[in-house]
Structure 1
Amino acid sequence: MAYWLLKSEPAEYGIEDLKREGRALWDGVRNYQARNHLLRMEVGDLCFFYHSSTEPPGVAGLCRVVRTRLPDPSQFDPQSPYFDPKSRPEAPRWWTVEVEYLEDFPLIPLSRLRQVFPPDHPLVRRGNRLSVMPVPEEVARALLALIGRTGSR
């Protein structure tokens, strides 16, 4: 099992939205490095749900990958802000995963995350935060301990 951080603005889509829906596609990713991380995900991987562009930003919950390597449907929708006219159904450029809600908890703010993540991790470096990032196993275990969990469900 691998660990990931999924970043979203809570005003756009937050952990409460995922809780209400139960499952969701992590669509609209339009960065090639983040897309490549999505392609590496496997069913059962654990994801930390990070709220960005809020005060304070931080990890607000957990979800799990339930389906992988799905063509992102928003790339084909001309009404979507994530529409990609160069992408075709027979040759998609953008991929996604489906995640399921596991739990929410009191926010672990970025100030606390800076004490847990290595200083060179993209999450704690300014200006380099992708919407999908790997989380090293030792960091994931430390985060799980912060919320009183010892492993995956």
Structure 2
Amino acid sequence: MKHWLFKSEPDAFSIDDLADRPGATEPWDGIRNYQARNLMRDDMRLGDSAFFYHSSCAVPGIVGIVSVTREAYPDHTARDPDSRYHDPKATEEEPRWMMVDVTLVRRFAGVIPLTVLKATSALEGMPLLKRGNRLSIQPVSAVHWRAVLRLADALKGDASV
């Protein structure tokens, strides 16, 4: 099993939005970066775990855990002319863009802020913390995964789903 980090702007789609979906499951659509697409398509597998990260907000940080519950398949929003993710070059034969389904596993009691992540020596080298890394889907090493879980466990009153 591999570990990942998925970024989303909470104004667009938050962990609470995911929790409100039937079965707390939703397609992770709209990825329009080839490197992120390749990670989903080539490396992500059923049962992989990912941190859910809120970005571009007052307190960016990790807010919970999701599980990959459907492996990569064509992102239908690429072929929808009414979608903000429409890509006129995407076809049914060559979809270009992929998505996976994710299911909420655990909401943390609060945000593990980016400032805390940056100050945690056990997270040195984590892609999220590297300058200029804006990729919306990133791998997370087992060492970094465990370090973030320790930070999450330190939050009081963890709200498990």
Q: TM > 0.5 between the two?
A: yes
Tell me, which stretches of 5 or more residues in structure 2 are unaligned? 155-161
Q: Does 1:118 align with 2:106?
A: no
Residue of structure 2 in register with 1:31 after alignment: 33
Report how far residue 13 of structure 1 moved: 0.3
> How much identity, in percent, do the aligned residues show?
46
Please tell me the residue identity of whatever aligns with 1:92: P
Residue of structure 2 in register with 1:142 after alignment: 147
Please tell me the residue identity of whatever aligns with 1:20: D
Q: For this pair of structures, how many residues does the alignment match?
A: 148
Contact 1:19 1:103 (8 Å CA) reproduced: no
The structure with more helix, counted as a fraction of residues: 2
Q: Does 1:12 align with 2:12?
A: yes
Of the structure 1 ranges 14-23 and 126-135, higher mean CA displacement relative to structure 2 is found in: 126-135
Contact 1:43 1:67 (8 Å CA) reproduced: yes
Q: RMSD of the alignment, in Å?
A: 1.3
Residue of structure 2 in register with 1:76 after alignment: 79
Residue of structure 2 in register with 1:102 after alignment: 105
Question: What TM-score, normalized by structure 2, do the two folds share?
Answer: 0.87
Report how far residue 86 of structure 1 moved: 0.7
Tell me, which stretches of 5 or more residues in structure 1 are unaligned? none
Partners of 1:55 and 1:126 lie apart in 2 by 19
Per-residue CA distance 1:112-138 (angstroms, 9 max, x = gap): 11124224x331123322110000110
